[in-house]
Amino acid sequence: MTLDARALRDAFGAFLTGVTVVTTHDAGGAPIGFTANSFTSVSLDPPLLLVCLAKSSRNYAVLTEARGFGVNILAEGQKDVSNTFARPVEDRFAAVEWRKGPYGSPVFADVAAWFDCAMHELVDAGDHVILIGRVEGFENGGKTGLGYARGGYFTPTLAEKSLLASADGTLLLGAVAERSGEILMVEDGKDGWTLPFVEKAEGEGLDALERHVSDVFGVGLQPGLLYSVYEDTKTGRQHVVYRAALGDGAPRRGRFFPVQSPPLGAIADSAVRDIVKRYAAESMLGNFGVYFGNQEKGRVHAVAAKG
Ligand SMILES: Cc1cc2nc3c(=O)[nH]c(=O)nc-3n(C[C@H](O)[C@H](O)[C@H](O)COP(=O)(O)O)c2cc1C
């Protein structure tokens, strides 16, 4: 059977991916890199990942002879970086802030995550070669990754940001803000706890939540994906809650509770209690849903499934 290559490529493109920039140095020490969405995590023990490199790439010889390579998972604000490293630009590295990773390949600032790898194996595969890397160092910046599907980019939280900015009426923005297996909770009356919430003014977006956490708690907040949208039918107020990563430093207010043992008996707001309970259960599976409904009944939509 002969397949239509263009049609096949379009069908492959139905698979939603992130976007990475794969890097190394040439023999003269100059950094090289190209955009790749063929990244796949492979193994935890030993720690392996892979990317597929076209044999037509100008960097084919350098990459296949390199002692290692870096994989930079682009954050959703880095569309320009993706385009630069996919086009014949003279100095692609002028578009990013970068440094040498622990194993020597270029790693970028402000990415969702990076991995610096030793070359583990090269597998010949048709018009591509599969580069299998052994992870020697990595950093997970906590930012949401840039998405790619059917030839176009998508930005999961930036899209929501603009939706939020144009939302009618008042909204309460909240966060399940996690750091090292603990979530930040804030005093809610005497002996009670709730999640950090802030009222969003008209025209404001998700930045209102970042600013609130930074002003009130004195720590940085990196909002991630949407976690719960509900209306409190008693107060008529809409709530939009995000999963978020919390920056370093001791918060000026509130307290950390282990994700798996939140103070359920001391959470008066039943919606918050349900969110915290669901978060504990879903973190065990690494499989988070998004809840839509009111504070009593609604639906959880699965957004991610692992294994
Ligand atoms: C979103 C996106 C994903 C890409 N993924 C890959 C890939 O996985 N492997 C690959 O060899 N090229 C991929 N490309 C194409 C290369 O980035 C592009 O051909 C680049 O110009 C190669 O540069 P080079 O010839 O300097 O190596 C991708 C391009 C884009 C825009």
CB of 57 shorter than 6 A to ligand 1: yes
**Separation of alpha carbons 147 and 225, rounded Å:** 13
Q: What is the residue extent of each domain of the chain?
A: 5-154, 157-302
CB of 59 shorter than 6 A to ligand 1: yes
Query: Mapping DSSP to helix (H, G, I), strand (E, B) and coil, where does residue 191 land?
Result: coil
C-alpha torsion sign, points 280, 284, 288, 293 = negative
Reported as a pLDDT band with limits 50, 70 and 90, residue 156 is confident
CB of 35 shorter than 6 A to ligand 1: yes
Reported as a pLDDT band with limits 50, 70 and 90, residue 165 is low
Please say if the pLDDT value at position 291 is more than 90.
Answer: no
Please say if the pLDDT value at position 304 is more than 60.
Answer: no
Between 279 and 287, the higher pLDDT residue:
279
Between 107 and 235, the higher pLDDT residue:
107
Residue type, 77: G
Position of tokens 């909240």?
174
Please say if the pLDDT value at position 1 is more than 90.
Answer: no
Q: What is the pLDDT of residue 163?
A: 67
- Tens of pLDDT, residue by residue over 8-55, are 999 999 999 999 999 999 999 999 999 999 999 999 999 999 999 999
Q: How far from each other are the two terminal CA atoms of the chain, in whole angstroms?
A: 33
| Pair of tokens at residue 235 | 């107060």
CB of 54 shorter than 6 A to ligand 1: yes
Q: What is the pLDDT of residue 205?
A: 81
Could you count the other beta carbons within 10 Å of the beta carbon of residue 55? Answer: 12
Residue type, 221: L
157-302 maps to which CATH number? 3.90.79.10
Please say if the pLDDT value at position 171 is more than 60.
Answer: yes
Q: What is the pLDDT of residue 306?
A: 40
For residue 56, the CA-to-ligand 1 centroid distance in Å is 10
Reported as a pLDDT band with limits 50, 70 and 90, residue 256 is very high
Q: What are phi and psi of 85, to 5 degrees?
A: -85, 0
Q: What is the pLDDT of residue 201?
A: 82
Q: What are phi and psi of 164, to 5 degrees?
A: -60, -40
| pLDDT (mean) for 255-279 | 95
- Segment 152-156 long-range contacts (CB within 8 Å, at least 24 positions apart): 153/19, 153/79, 153/82, 155/76, 155/77, 155/79, 156/76, 156/225
Residue with CA nearest ligand 1 atom 6: 36
**Separation of alpha carbons 23 and 104, rounded Å:** 10
CB of 20 shorter than 6 A to ligand 1: no
**Separation of alpha carbons 257 and 251, rounded Å:** 13
Q: What percent of the chain has pLDDT over 90?
A: 72
**Separation of alpha carbons 272 and 269, rounded Å:** 5
Taking the CA of residue 59 as reference, the ligand 1 atom at the shortest distance is 27
For residue 261, the CA-to-ligand 1 centroid distance in Å is 45
Helix%, strand%, coil% for the chain, nearest 5: 20, 40, 35
CB of 39 shorter than 6 A to ligand 1: no
Please say if the pLDDT value at position 285 is more than 90.
Answer: no
How far is C-alpha 148 from the geometric centre of its chain's CA atoms? 13
**Separation of alpha carbons 118 and 287, rounded Å:** 30
CB of 50 shorter than 6 A to ligand 1: no
Reported as a pLDDT band with limits 50, 70 and 90, residue 224 is confident
CB of 17 shorter than 6 A to ligand 1: no
The helix or strand, by DSSP H or E, that contains position 183, with its residue range, turns out to be: strand 182-187
CB of 64 shorter than 6 A to ligand 1: no
Least confident of 27-31, 81-85, 228-232: 228-232
Query: Mapping DSSP to helix (H, G, I), strand (E, B) and coil, where does residue 239 land?
Result: strand
5-154 maps to which CATH number? 2.30.110.10
Residue with CA nearest ligand 1 atom 20: 86
Please give the model's pTM, rounded to 2 decimal places: 0.70
Position of tokens 């209102």?
208
CA distances from 89 to 28, 68, 83, 223 (A): 19, 23, 9, 33
Please say if the pLDDT value at position 73 is more than 60.
Answer: yes
Please say if the pLDDT value at position 87 is more than 50.
Answer: yes
Q: What is the pLDDT of residue 28?
A: 94
Query: Mapping DSSP to helix (H, G, I), strand (E, B) and coil, where does residue 12 land?
Result: helix
Of 18, 19, 32, the closest CA to residue 104 belongs to 32
- Average pLDDT in the chain: 91
Please say if the pLDDT value at position 274 is more than 80.
Answer: yes
| pLDDT (mean) for 153-166 | 74
Mutate which of 34, 37, 73, 76 for ligand 1? The one with the most ligand atoms within 8 Å of its CB, which is: 34
